[in-house]
Amino acid sequence: MSVKTRVLRAATAAVAAAALLLPAACGTSNDAANDASVDSSDITQQTVTPGTLTIATGDPAYSPWVLNDDPESGEGYEAAVAYAVAEQLGFSEDDVQWARTTFDSAIAPGAKDWDLNIQQFSITDERKQAVDFSPSYYNPTQAVVVRQDSQYASATSIDDLKDATIGAMVGTTSYDFAKEAIKDDIQTFNDNAMLAQALAANQIDALVVDTPTAVYIVDSGQVENSVVIGQIPDSEDPQGMGIVLPKDSALTDAVTDAVNALIEDGTLASLQEQWLAEYTTDIPTLE
C-alpha cells in the first residue's frame, strides 16, 4: 500500500469518527443547558456550593445568640433562626455548613464565600450599599454595663453618665445610640470582646451594647463584678437586625420571604421567648 493511500484512509477514518462524535457532543450541550434551566428555578442550587447553604457567624460567637460558640447545635437565638430560615429555603440541617467571619469583612463590598451571615447586624441604609439584608429578625434595645465598684454603678439617668468614659464597638448601632443619647466622645473598639476587656481593665467606665449581650457579659463573668445599670431610653433599633447576604444575591428574595413567614407564623416570637427572655426582662430604663 502506498503512502498516499494510507494517508487518504487515515483522513477518511478521522472524518467518520468526528461525524459519529458530533451528535453526542450536541446532545451533551443541550443537556447542560437543560440542567442550567432546572437549577435556576431551584433556590438550593443557587448557593456558593450548590445543594449546601453556607451560613457565617462571628468568631467567636457569644450567647445568647449562639450557645457555647457552637452554631451547629442550633442552640441560641441566631443559631435557631438560621436553621429555621434554612428549612424555609428547602435545606435540611445536614445541608447547612457553618463558617466564621469578622463583623467588618461581612458588610464590606465584594464577593463572599458564604450565602448568609448572621451576627447581630443592624440594618442601615449605608450598609445596604454594600450588601443585602433580610427583614429584621429582632429589634434590640441598648444597655449600659459598668463595674460594681465604679462611681457610676448607682447611675439611674443618662445625665449621671455625662462625665464617664464610654466605650462601644465601632460601626454599630450601639455606638450610634451612645453618641446620640449620652455624649459625643465615645471610645471605639473593634469587637465586643475587646470592649469587655477594656471595661474589665478599667480603661473605660462603661460600655454600651445591645441588651441581651449586656446581660450575658455580666452573667457570664466576662467582666467580673459588673452590672447592667439600665437600658438607654428610646433605643429600640427601628430597622432591627437582619441577615446579611452578598449584594444582589440570588437568595435575597427567598430569604426575605422566609423571614416574613417566620414572623407571620409566630416562630420568631417563640424563639425570642425561648432564647432571649431571660436576657431582656426586668432590665430598668435609664431616665
Output the pLDDT for position 88.
Answer: 98
- Cα–Cα distance, 7 to 1 (Å, whole number): 10
Output the pLDDT for position 41.
Answer: 76
CATH number of this structure's domain 142-231: 3.40.190.10
**Residue 181 CB-density burial (10 A; 0-12 exposed, 13-18 middle, 19+ buried):** middle
Output the pLDDT for position 39.
Answer: 55
Domain segments of the chain as ranges: 48-139+239-280, 142-231
As its CATH architecture, domain 48-139+239-280 has 3-Layer(aba) Sandwich (3.40)
Place of cell 426575605: 256
DSSP 123-189: P-TTGGGTEEEPPPSB---EEEEEETTSTTTT--SSGGGTTS-EEEETTSHHHHHHHHHT-S-EEEE
Q: Could you read off the pLDDT tens digit of each residue along the chain, which spans 287 residues?
A: 433 333 334 334 443 333 333 333 333 333 333 344 445 679 999 999 999 999 999 999 999 999 999 999 999 999 999 999 999 999 999 999 999 999 999 999 999 999 999 999 999 999 999 999 999 999 999 999 999 999 999 999 999 999 999 999 998 899 999 999 999 999 999 988 999 999 999 999 999 999 999 999 999 999 999 999 999 999 999 999 999 999 999 999 999 999 999 999 999 999 999 999 999 998 999 99
* Residue 237 DSSP one-character state: -
**Greatest extent of the chain over all pairs of C-alpha atoms, in Å:** 109
Domains 48-139+239-280 and 142-231 share a fold: yes
Output the pLDDT for position 109.
Answer: 95
pTM of the shown model: 0.79
End-to-end CA distance of the chain: 107
